[in-house]
Structure 1
Amino acid sequence: MRIVVEKVEDAHHVKFSSLYGGCLAQWEGSSPLIGNAYDVEIDIPCVLTWGLEATYSEEEQYQIKEIGRKILVIGKLESIHDDGYAVFRMGESVTLLEIRGIQFSKMVFLKLEINNLILHEISL
């Protein structure tokens, strides 16, 4: 995903914007510069539980935003595997999630309410 760094909170946290919104996230990579664009991979570093942090989304539009102390992420469930791992799409980016008790097999939009989002800088 392509992001723009809006603010550097400290060496490990940035406020960013993207085509889908933005929030405060943990930063993994070289020291970012305010105003610069970066290509990143998104990591959601927790096991999600269906019905709590992960629910069906009636909105079918990719989103990232802060709601209070939580981060709201809406994306598409591409597939779910027997081991509980799911492929989750945010625009052109995909990430693996671990979701307990998921009820869908694939191709629905999910709403995730999480505490932390990690951005890993990548070189294209």
Structure 2
Amino acid sequence: MKNVQIKYKSGFVFNDGLSLSNIRKNLQADCQKCFGLCCVALYFSSSEGFPTDKAAGYPCPNLSKNYSCNVHENLIERGFKGCVAYDCFGAGQKVAQSIFHGNDWYKFPQNKNDMSYAVRVNKCK
């Protein structure tokens, strides 16, 4: 079994000792623990179920300072079909809580790029 090890541009190395298969089995999204990382880390494209484009690594304009979505109740009506369909399968809280020990990107902006990268890597594996 291959253990998960991620090396970030800042030099930080994360190795949780878990196999990829165990991580996949155990991860389920918990939006309250992830600091809205999917709303920051991922890009939006008007051609993929969003009303506008947004570059990866930048907060969605609908993300509030308490990491909740200001338009969550009306995502479909506002054209955010991509948000409705998206599921990080727990990558967000894994990155936020396990890798970055609960240090969010808003209070620790130096972590934003590494956290964004980690969400994309964890989601894609």
TM-score under structure 1 length normalisation = 0.22
The structure whose residues are more often helix, as a share, is 2
Q: Which has a greater percent of strand?
A: 1
**Normalised by the size of structure 2, how large is the TM-score?**
0.22
